Amino acid sequence: MAISAAAAVSINIKTSPSCSSTNSKLAQFSSLQFPSELRISSIRNHRLKSKPRPRTLTLVASTKQNFTSFAELLEKSDKPVFVDFYATWCGPCQFMVPVLEQVSASMIDKIQVVKIDTEKYPSIANEYDIAALPTFILFKDGKPHDRFEGAMGADQLIQRIEASLSKE
């Protein structure tokens, strides 16, 4: 099983003048025709007036580690393990990707964040009775310590984890 932090990807989409013309190959197959004022070609020559906003990305140190089993991962961890059970088709799970990056960065000394795809590892999901996605389980000393479901913001998630870690 490989463990790694998620990476941010940016995609730039460019349109060429040939794609926006009314005589394009796609236009002749489409039964839906838009008025010329709504077509991309009518806005192609106009520039956006807004100023670009600076973007900041938080760098999270990640290491890829291979374990023969999930139990081995829990055993060998020197700090509590926070596991996100997710699926690639799950919308709320995708919402949680940047949230978990923030949580991992701010709690790097306190917990280890692990993501487990329930489609790739259904036996692990079944072992912990994962019925809703996303489901989060905080493991302490190799055993489930706290469990909660559903998407939430980074601040709320950090508070929940810290509260759980402080109780015995």
The catalytic residue among 73, 74, 93, 99 is: 93
- 93 given a catalytic annotation: yes
Closest-CA residue to 114 (of 106, 130, 103): 103
Pairing relation of β-strands 81-86 and 65-66? Answer: unpaired
The catalytic residue among 27, 90, 105, 154 is: 90
Q: Quick check: helix, strand or coil at residue 112?
A: strand
CB 59 within 8 A of CB 104: no
CA distance 33 to 36: 9
Closest-CA residue to 103 (of 160, 148, 157): 157
- 19 given a catalytic annotation: no
Closest-CA residue to 97 (of 64, 140, 134): 134
| Residues known to be catalytic | 90, 93
